[in-house]
Structure 1
């Protein structure tokens, strides 16, 4: 498969991101303009296209580009890619109109099956020259977490038919899925891709250091799931396990920072790429601090009862850590360029909306008055994200960027 195909696949992923952002904008304007659609149905469409259209397609494209033996795997990969698109388009045209119903459930189920096929395909076609890659070890673990996360959706049907959607198990199944998607599959896959880039420049990590990093990462991913259960007021041991996970994650990223901080300049990054990477590092740091705070019962109860704080955290992780991490890798590998202008629009929209969302949550906590016109401001600032994404797509369609040689 030629580099041009990878670029086109990333264009497809970015179109999904734009569509998800537009659906999100409709949700922001719902109360202002009195739109006549089912709010919850559009939320389902927005979240599925964001997670599975944008992030899944972008990550699987980058993983194939970096790690797989191309001559053996290209034909099968293309079939998997287009089968994935069929399921995504099906979800896009069913979830916003019917929510969880026959067609949306069929397409989301088919997506899960196709994702399992992708994992099997990836495992079978790894380029032998990368078999000792530390980045590959992280990616393999990420794919396992992706499969594990799918247990959440599989159990939802049984929960709805037996104890109903109002039970704590329904919410826990969703949190299980989101946790292992965000923290297991997505962030660990991004780290694996970053380590792949690191290794391509001959920058080595000792076996002992990597084992320590890898184990603490996986302990952190596994045990921080218990942060998602603290709203049920469980026993002391759940708080203990959640605390172990949060500390392990802090240790893992502190370990990673010690490894890379003095050698980042050796990656020969542009100013734009340096800005993207530093943005990710800052946002990961904020994410880890928030996780540590929510180990404490007072803050875990606050996060569980004030919806805006949860939404702000999820957007911090998704629009910040994960999406900007993907921007960095796509630009660094010269498959999709991120210009300063487009990124500034995106970042401005991201920061302003995060400030308003977290302020609303903090206002509910501290009984502050809301900012006048907050709902309208949040909708308008969300539009800036769409402007940034639109600029990215238009600039990449119009300009033929020089490409790296295929790493494989």
Structure 2
């Protein structure tokens, strides 16, 4: 029998390291640090996406679709192979950046993700394959595989055109888009529908099909939002804007579905889980509106001219929409119950750091200097994130058998 709570603790451990690395990065602007900033950024981003989020999502998917530890031996091998690749990246990227060993471990991670995709798509039972939730999970896994086109292309671009080529950034944006907006979002929606299905809370098939196809279409077309910084032909603005609008329609459908179920007595999620989902939903609405704005040429230029806006958006999605949803679903799956005090410290750190990041972006755009102690204050508020995640992680180690209800 696999101890999936231990796997959840490993995911939280990665999240704690991500918080520490993020704080370390912000300290570069306060004091001299004998390290390579870009190298640490690579470690921070890889462990954030592939450590915390990937491990949490794959643990949840296994827990929900392989009851009683079915196919445990295969899953365990894939899990530990994945850990080797993650630790390899953690101990190479901060010291070498993109070099032989870090590239080797990140490439091996891609193979680990392919193995997990194969495992889920081939080994799940027939009875779940036509459920709404599994259709979303299946799409999420295919987008996970599709996103890897970016890293594969990156090597060829670096070898032939170099880092200064627009195709270098395009490969990165391709990867990030299909990670953040497809793999993460589809997987979270699939997990949400799983818990609705267990409570016999299902929309009509035509309602779900509309949501599903709109979301797929919107995700694919909204990739073109990532190319607007090169000022392409007008047709790309049309495609990007269409993608953003279609995504908006898809999530309007999702919110409508949830609104119809929210007061149903069968929607018996714990009150704090409902609060987490409500906050996640509000942040998701903000994310969609930011994407919609970025389809307008003026705001597209603004986003790519001032990196703070892009950093703020990525953290909004990662720390807000994705991480809060993961807290809720890990609780519902009886894998981890987030301590409320630690959560509110986390949420304060998230809100304050986002406010300061966007404040700097707006100040630079408006030509107004930021206040003298800006970076010191940013480090101070950012310290709330590793502090809160550290509390979550170490408390999970001390309460391994906590009762989740």
Quote how far apart the aligned CAs of 1:398 are.
Answer: 2.2
The corresponding residue for 2:201 is 203
Unaligned runs of 5+ in 1: none
**Which deviations, in whole Å up to 9, do the C-alpha atoms of 1:260-311 show, x marking residues without a partner?**
1132243212232122111100100100110111111000000011000000
* C-alpha contact (below 8 Å) 1:159/1:169 kept by paired residues: yes
State the 1:14 CA deviation. Answer: 0.6
- Structure-1-length-normalised TM-score: 0.96
Spell out structure 1 runs of 4+ moving beyond 4 A. 69-72
Is the Cα contact below 8 Å between 1:146 and 1:185 reproduced in 2? yes
Deviating more after overlay: 237-246 vs 394-403: 394-403
Instruction: Write out per-residue CA displacement over residues 189-236 of structure 1, whole angstroms, 9 at most, x where no aligned residue.
Output: 000000000100010111100110000000111011000000000011
Q: 1:72, 1:89 → 2: CA distance?
A: 27
Measured against aligned partners, the alpha-carbon deviations of 1:300-355 in whole angstroms (never above 9, x if no partner) come to: 00001100000000000111111111111011222101121010010000000000
Q: Is the 8 A contact 2:219 2:243 kept in 1?
A: yes
CA distance in 1, matches of 2:22, 2:70: 40
Equivalent positions of 1:248-327 (< 5 A) are: 248-265=246-263, 266-327=266-327
TM-score by length of 2: 0.97
Tell me which residue corresponds to 1:24.
Answer: 22
Write the deviation string for residues 376-406 of structure 1: whole angstroms up to 9, x where unpaired.
11111111011110111222222222257xx
Give 3-state SS (helix, strand or coil) of 1:32's partner.
coil
**Structure 2 residue corresponding to 1:66, chosen from 64, 67, 70:** 64
Counterpart contact for 2:136–2:189, Cα < 8 Å: yes
SS in 2 for 1:165: coil
CA contact (8 A) 1:216 1:252 kept: yes
Aligned to 2:376: 376
- Distance in 2 (CA, whole Å) between partners of 1:89 and 1:369 is 40
1:71 Cα deviation (Å)?
Answer: 5.3
Q: What CA distance in whole angstroms lies between the structure 2 residues aligned with 1:162 and 1:272?
A: 52
Match of 1:128 among 123, 126, 129: 126
Equivalent positions of 1:6-405 (< 5 A) are: 6-68=4-66, 70=68, 72-265=70-263, 266-399=266-399, 400-403=401-404
Conserved 8 A contact 1:69-1:126: no
Question: In structure 1, what is the Cα distance between the partners aligned to 2:168 and 2:369?
Answer: 33
* Aligned counterparts of 1:259 and 1:67: Cα–Cα separation in 2: 23
* 1:2-23 superposed Cα distances (whole Å, 9 cap, x missing partner): 5xx1110010001001101111
Distance (whole Å) between structure 1 residues aligned to residue 123 and residue 404 of structure 2? 23
CA distance in 1, matches of 2:207, 2:310: 34
Kindly report the root-mean-square deviation, in angstroms, between the aligned alpha carbons of the 2 structures: 1.2
Give 1:114 shift.
1.1
For residue 33 of structure 1, give the secondary structure of its aligned residue in structure 2: coil
Using the TM superposition, name which of 328-337 and 55-64 deviates more.
328-337
Please, which moves more after superposition, 390-399 or 87-96?
390-399
Kindly indicate whether the alpha-carbon contact (under 8 Å) linking 2:63 and 2:333 is maintained by their aligned counterparts in 1.
no
Unaligned runs of 5+ in 2: none
Query: Are 1:69 and 1:125, in contact at CA under 8 Å, matched by a contact in 2?
Result: no
Count matched residues.
402
Does the 8 Å CA contact 1:156/1:170 hold for their aligned counterparts?
yes
Q: Secondary structure at the match of 1:368?
A: coil
1:73 Cα deviation after fit: 1.3
Question: 1:245 Cα deviation (Å)?
Answer: 0.5
